[in-house]
Structure 1
Amino acid sequence: MTGAEDSRPVRIVVADDQEVVRAGFGALLGTQPDLVVAGTAADGAAAVAACREHRPDVVLMDVRMPVMDGIEATRRITAAADAPRVLMLTTFDLDEHVYDALVAGASGFLLKDVTTERLFDAVRVVAAGEALLAPAVTRRLIGEFARLRPRPPSAALDALTPRETEVLRLVAEGLTNAEIAARLVVGEETVKTHVSRVLRKLGLRDRVQAVVAAYETGLVLPRLGGR
Structure 2
Amino acid sequence: MSHTKIKSVEIKTIAICHSNEKFIDHLRGRLAKLIGVERVLKFADVDDLIKVASQTQFDLVLVEVNEQTKDPSSLISDIVLAAPEVTVLVILEARSTSSLVTEDEIENLLTQTAHAGAAGYIRQDIRNNELLALYAAISGIGIHPSRKPVKSQISLSPREQDMLRGFCEGKTKAQIGADLYISEDTVKTHCKRLFLKLGVHNRSAAVLAAYRNGLLDMSVP
TM-score computed with the length of structure 2 as normaliser? 0.52
User: Letter of the aligned partner of 2:74 in structure 1?
Assistant: E
In the superposition, relative to structure 1, how do residues 56 and 70 fare at CA in structure 2: closer, same or farther (>3 Å)? Answer: farther
Over alpha carbons, which structure has the higher Rg? 1
CA RMSD for the aligned pairs? 4.1
Aligned residues: 154
Q: Aligned partners of 2:118, 2:79: CA distance in 1, in Å?
A: 10
Is residue 174 of structure 1 aligned with residue 169 of structure 2? no
Q: Deviations over 1:113-163 (max 9, x none)?
A: 222233233334454489xxxxxxxxxxxxxxxxxxxxxxxxxxxxxxxxx
Q: Give secondary structure in 1 for the equivalent of 2:40.
A: strand
Q: Aligned partners of 1:43, 1:65: CA distance in 2, in Å?
A: 16
Structure 1 contact 12–57 (Cα < 8 Å) conserved: yes
Counterpart for residue 222 of structure 1: 184
Q: Aligned partners of 1:9, 1:104: CA distance in 2, in Å?
A: 22
Find 2:19's aligned residue among 14, 17, 20: 17
In the superposition, relative to structure 1, how do residues 29 and 212 fare at CA in structure 2: closer, same or farther (>3 Å)? Answer: same
Counterpart for residue 115 of structure 1: 127
> If each structure's helix is expressed as a fraction of its own residues, which one has the higher value?
1
**Per-residue deviation at 1:85?**
0.7
Structure 1 contact 15–41 (Cα < 8 Å) conserved: yes
Structure 1 contact 11–38 (Cα < 8 Å) conserved: yes
Q: Gaps (5+ residues) in structure 1?
A: 1-5, 131-169, 178-205
Structure 1 contact 63–98 (Cα < 8 Å) conserved: no
Percentage identity across aligned positions? Answer: 14
Structure 2 contact 24–42 (Cα < 8 Å) conserved: yes
Structure 2 contact 30–128 (Cα < 8 Å) conserved: yes
Q: Gaps (5+ residues) in structure 2?
A: 1-7, 96-100, 143-158, 190-221
In the superposition, relative to structure 1, how do residues 118 and 112 fare at CA in structure 2: closer, same or farther (>3 Å)? Answer: same
Q: List structure 1 segments (4+ residues) > 6 angstroms apart after TM superposition.
A: 65-68
